[in-house]
Structure 1
Amino acid sequence: MTNSVWLSASLALLALALSFADAYDPSPLQDICVAVEEPKNALFVNGKFCKNPVLTTANDFLFSGLQVPRSTANPVGSTVTTVFVDQLPGLNTLGISMVRIDFGIGGLNPPHFHPRGSEILLVLEGTLYAGFVTSNQLNNTFFEKVLHPGDVFVFPFGMIHFQLNVGKTNAVAIAGLSSQNPGVTTVANDLFNAKPPISPEVLAKGFQVDEKLVETLQKKFWYDN
């Protein structure tokens, strides 16, 4: 192959690569999206219908009440107040959202991950023990830190993470997320409270425990935070 032919082929491949770089699929904003042939059976996905801009008001961009403490009288001792697109319509297409997390003494925001967003957490009150675990690719490395008021901690996209109140008072944190609908998958709930139930044999082998323990866990009440 001559140099001129090689150069032409290289430029053609480069142009093709650049065209692919600009033609990626958008990030999904829902858990599942099964294709259908009939439009009458279809739903609008990946966001919401847009309101006529002429009819838009300031209230479309306002959410009030995030300063109000929430009750933490539940099995995990914490409550998450979400400000996603369903609560604040003006977030549509902006790729951001936020939450307030209230912790009772000893309260836990259980291990979970967001399938569509990273998270940055700011502690306002109290002392939190927080951490996340990387994927198998990085040997499930655990990053942990005790956080105090004013501290900020980041949980990367898709990583399992948690926060535990280790102080002697209630705690409050605010978090921002990089999606208008980041979603949340609480690990224990998904595995032991699936409907219909996952086969105990699968979970027993996966966790290397006895099937009876799995069956006991599947009978417990699992709280969605």
Structure 2
Amino acid sequence: MNDVMLAALRHDAHKFTGESHDDARETFAGVAVNQAVPEGADHDAAALSRPQQIRERTVPTHEDRYRLSLLTGDPVYDHREFSQGVVESDVRDLLTIENAASAHEQWLESDVAAEFNESVYHPYTSLKYHTLLVAALLDNYRNDNAFAALRLTVSPPDEIEPFRTIFEGERFTLRIDANSKERPAARLGSRPWRSWAAVWNRLTAHPLATDRDKYDMTLDANLRRIQSWSTALQYLEDFAAWRPDR
């Protein structure tokens, strides 16, 4: 399992380096990268965040692999603060972890992965959360959990499920699995598509204090509009970092 899950976490290394999928290198810093992900997990995770048939830029003024922030509308990569050497070093440290469970934990905490988009055609998407979605789906599929059986589950902040946790915050974590009837949870649906808002709306209970916290009210209202999974998960992270009262 270690090798398969590491391959999933490294499958989009070419998006860090700016290489095309067809011309992507097979190794990076001595480890195998850019390998195909089994079970259709990469395809399904991509379908959660972007329409597969659209191959044109949705933001004509943005043409590179660095993500646009949905919170500010600006590129998250600031050349004045981060050198290319620092970015390359952080990417190397992330991709060369040899233990898959440890690599998953580092992806949850990664800042550098959040700087890149999943697709230049959809610059608000997040490479970080696309990769975490791939890992969660693959681990479920390899354990005979079909997509239609999967749920988005809210868990305590210190509860990390290897490969299945897709978001880690100070107040709660989110994971995808098929065994979550006892927690606030919602089914993902019958097939993978851009459905974040629909799933968030179906949660049996919400982890935000929307009855008394004005920032949580704003966050929740926006999460009920975002369709892309990787965009929504990244927005959760960005909003938590931005909150002036934290």
Fold equivalence (TM over 0.5): no
TM-score (normalizing by structure 1): 0.27
TM-score (normalizing by structure 2): 0.25
- Which is helix-richer, 1 or 2? 2
Instruction: Give the structure with higher Rg (CA).
Output: 1
- Which is strand-richer, 1 or 2? 1
